[in-house]
Structure 1
């Protein structure tokens, strides 16, 4: 499902226009981004939790040159699905 299909499905299920559905999705993503930018976790009931995690620095080896390189630490976004969502996917 792409973004256009998602917005069409959302607008049909919520009985709103596609433009209003787009505004809702943009608002949700903005709130999600702002929350994660502040370092907080973002939870949606019956869906899951997003949080920012720090990946440690590590050493990698380039397979073609056998040269070792240090990869610096970085922030990543982690998602953990709720049990309700997991149960729905199992069915």
Structure 2
């Protein structure tokens, strides 16, 4: 399922226009992104948790030359599924 399919399902389920549904979806994604950028955790009960995790700096290897390169530390978004979502997937 992609974003346009989500928008269509919301529009049909709530009986609103696709434009309104798309604005709602965009707003939710924007708010999650902004919260993660601020370092906050986003918890959606029954669905899961979005958070920012920090990867430590490490040594990597250039596969073409074999040269060792330093890979800097970085922040990355992560998602952990909640129990209800896990149970729904494993039915």
TM > 0.5: yes
Write the distance in 1 (CA, Å) between the matches of 2:22 and 2:60: 41
Alignment gaps of 5+ in structure 2:
none
- Structure 2 residue aligned with 1:79: 79
Moved more, 9-18 or 70-79: 9-18
Provide runs of 4+ in structure 1 moved above 6 Å. none
Q: Classify the secondary structure of the residue corresponding to 1:63.
A: coil
Q: Give the TM-score normalised by structure 2.
A: 0.92
Deviation at 1:63, TM superposition (A): 2.7
Aligned-residue offset at 1:27: 1.0
- What is the TM-score normalised by the length of structure 1? 0.92
* Backbone CA RMSD of aligned residues: 1.1
